[in-house]
A = this chain, B = another copy of it.
Amino acid sequence: MAQKVPSAIKGFKDKYPAEKAQQDWLFHKLTEVIKSFGYSSYDGPLIEPIDLYLNKSSEELVREQTFGLVDRDGRKLVLRPEMTPTLARMVAARAMELVIPLRWFNIGLRYRYEAPQKGRSREFYQIDCDLIGPDSRIADAEIISIAALLLRALGVTPQEAVVYVNSRSSMKDFFKANGISDDLQKPILTIIDRMEKQPVEISHKAILDLGVDRQVVDKILNIDPNDAPIPPDIGECLSYCKSYGVADYIEYNPRIVRGLDYYTGIVFEVKARHGLTRSLYGGGRYNNLITSYGANRDLPGVGFATSDVILLAFLQDLGKLPDFKGTSTIILAPLFENEDPAYVFGWCQDLRKEGMAVETYPEQAPLSKQLTYAQKAGIPFVLIAGEKGTQRW
C-alpha cells in the first residue's frame, strides 16, 4: 500500500503556493520595469536542436551542461540552456519584415546540468532582455540602466549590488597596442574571466605560457579596477546612465570579460557586494551573432539575462524577499449545514465581479470548522449573509 512515491529529481523542485507567490512577485516587479521601456514579450521552444548552440554559446555550456534528448529520427536535441541563440534565430528568420529597433524580453525556463547549490538549480527561469538594431552607446546605456533599475525595483541598494561594466572592444585595443596577436585574445580573456577564482600566480603563469612577454603579462594582471582609465565607449555609456538616475549602481571594472564567445562590445555583470559570489546577471553587446544565424541584414544587439533562482536567493539573504501565505483570498463565505447553499454562491459571484477574491467553504460543515480554516489559511474576512428574513442564531 505505502508504495514509494517518486519525488522531484535532483536539482528540481516542487513549488508550493507560498514559494510560487514569491516567484510571481519577482516576475511582476521585473516585467513592470522592462515593459515601462516598451519591451515586448516573445518566446520560443524549450527543446531545440543542439546545432543551434554549437560554436555560439560557450563550449562548456553545450558539451557538458545540457540536458540532451534524441528524437525518434535520431536527431540530437537539448533543453535550452540559454535564450540568446533562439532569439537570434527568430530575428534572423524575419530580419526583413520585423520593425527595427526591436525591444524584446522573455521570461522562460532554462536547463543546465550543473551541481545544484545555493542560488543554482538545474531548472530555472531566466529573464532575458534585448535591444536589437543600433550599435550605439545609447542602446548599451539603456540595457545597463534597466539592469540597475531592476535592482532598485527589488529594493536593492548600490551598497548591496553593483553593475560592473567593461568593454571587450577596449580590451581588444589594449591587446593590440601591446602586440598581442588576435588568436591569443580569446585564451587570455578566459584566464582573466577566472582571475577571481584562483591565485594571481596561476593566472600569471597561464598567460606567460601562451608566449606573452612578462612585462605585458604584468600590465594585463595589474589593471587595478579602481585606477584604470575609463575607456571612451564606457565613459559615454556611463554619462547616459546618470540621466536614468542609476549611476550609483554602475562601476567600470576591467576584469569583467564574460564567458560567452559572442560578445563584441560592452560586457557587464551584476554582483552582490557581499555574500554570493556568482553573478546575479550577465550581459553585453553581440554585433555579429544575428548575422551568423543567417540574417541578410546587419543587426547588432545588446542584452542581458538574470535568473529567478539567483535573485530569490540574493533577496532572501538580504531579508528583502516578501513572505506570502500563498492565498490572496480576502473573503470566506461559510455555508450552513441545514440550508441550501445556492443563495451564497449567488452573492459571492456578485463580489467576484467587483474584483474580490472570494471563497465559499466547499462543503456543508460546522461553522467552527470553517472559521478555523479561514484563520489557518490567512483569509482576513469571513462574510456571513442570509436570505432576507432568515435567522441563524
Closest B residue to A347 by CB, please name it: B243
Interface residues of A, CB < 8 Å — how many?
100
Tell me whether B6 and A20 are in contact (CB under 8 A): no
A139 to B341, CA, bound (A): 12
Q: Taking the complex as formed, is A393 at the interface, i.e. its CB lies under 8 A from any CB of chain B? A: no
* Interface residue? A9 (CB, 8 A): yes
Asked whether any CB of chain B lies closer than 8 Å to the CB of A210, the reply is: no
Q: Which residue of B lies closest to A139 (CB)?
A: B362
Q: Report the bound CA distance from A3 to B52 in whole Å.
A: 11
Q: 8 Å CB contacts to B: which residues of A1-38? A: 2-3, 5-9, 12-17, 20-21, 23-24, 35-38
Given A294-B2, A342-B242: A90 touches B373 (CB 8 Å cut-off): no
Beta-carbon contact of B17 and A42 below 8 Å:
yes
Residues B345 and A243 in contact, CB atoms below 8 Å apart? yes
Asked whether, in the complex, the Cβ of B99 is within 8 Å of the Cβ of A358, the reply is no
Q: Is B37 a contact partner of A20 (Cβ separation < 8 A)?
A: no
The 4 closest A-B pairs by CB, nearest first: A38-B329, A12-B45, A243-B345, A38-B359
Q: What's the nearest-Cβ distance from chain B to residue A258, in Å?
A: 21
On whether the beta carbons of A20 and B45 are closer than 8 Å, the reply is no
Are B294 and A357 neighbours in the complex by a CB distance under 8 Å?
no
Residues of B within 8 A of A133 (CB): 362-363
Which A residues fall within an 8 A CB radius of B? 2-3, 5-9, 12-17, 20-21, 23-24, 35-38, 40-49, 51-52, 67-69, 71-72, 75, 77, 79, 86, 89-90, 92-94, 99-101, 103-104, 109, 111, 113, 123, 131, 133-134, 136, 138-139, 141-142, 145, 239-240, 242-245, 293-294, 326-329, 335, 341-346, 349, 352, 355-364, 373, 376-377, 379
Contact check, B5 vs A44: say whether CB atoms are below 8 A apart: no
Least Cβ distance of A55 to chain B in Å?
Answer: 10
Residue contact B346 to A243, C-beta cutoff 8 Å: yes
**Does the CB pair A13–B45 fall under 8 Å?**
yes
Query: Bound state CA distance, A69 and B47, in angstroms?
Result: 12
A36 touches B352 (CB 8 A): yes
A191 CB to nearest B CB, Å: 30
Cβ contact within 8 Å between A20 and B40: yes
Residues A15 and B38 in contact, CB atoms below 8 Å apart: no
Question: What residue in chain B is nearest A90 (Cβ atoms)?
Answer: B14
Chain B residues with CB under 8 A of A71: 9
When the two chains form their complex, are residues A94 and B16 in contact, meaning their CB atoms are under 8 A apart?
Answer: yes
CA distance A18 to B123 in the complex (A): 27
Nearest B-chain residue to A373, judged by Cβ: B99
B contact residues around A13 at 8 Å (CB): 45
The answer, among B68, B93, B240, B360, for a CB contact under 8 Å with A142, is B360
Contacting pair B41 A24 (CB below 8 A): yes
A71 to B2, CA, bound (A): 26
Contact of A14 among B7, B79, B93, B357 (CB under 8 A): B93
Report B-chain residues with C-beta under 8 Å of the C-beta of A327: 38, 40
| A-B contacts besides A138-B362, A244-B346, 4 pairs, CB < 8 Å | A9-B71, A14-B44, A134-B362, A239-B342
**Least distance between A320 CB and chain B CB atoms (Å):** 20
- Taking the closest CB of chain B, its distance from the CB of A160, in whole angstroms, is 21
18 contacts between A and B (CB under 8 A): A5-B93, A14-B43, A17-B40, A17-B41, A21-B40, A36-B358, A38-B327, A38-B357, A38-B379, A45-B123, A46-B46, A47-B111, A47-B123, A99-B376, A99-B377, A101-B361, A101-B362, A243-B344
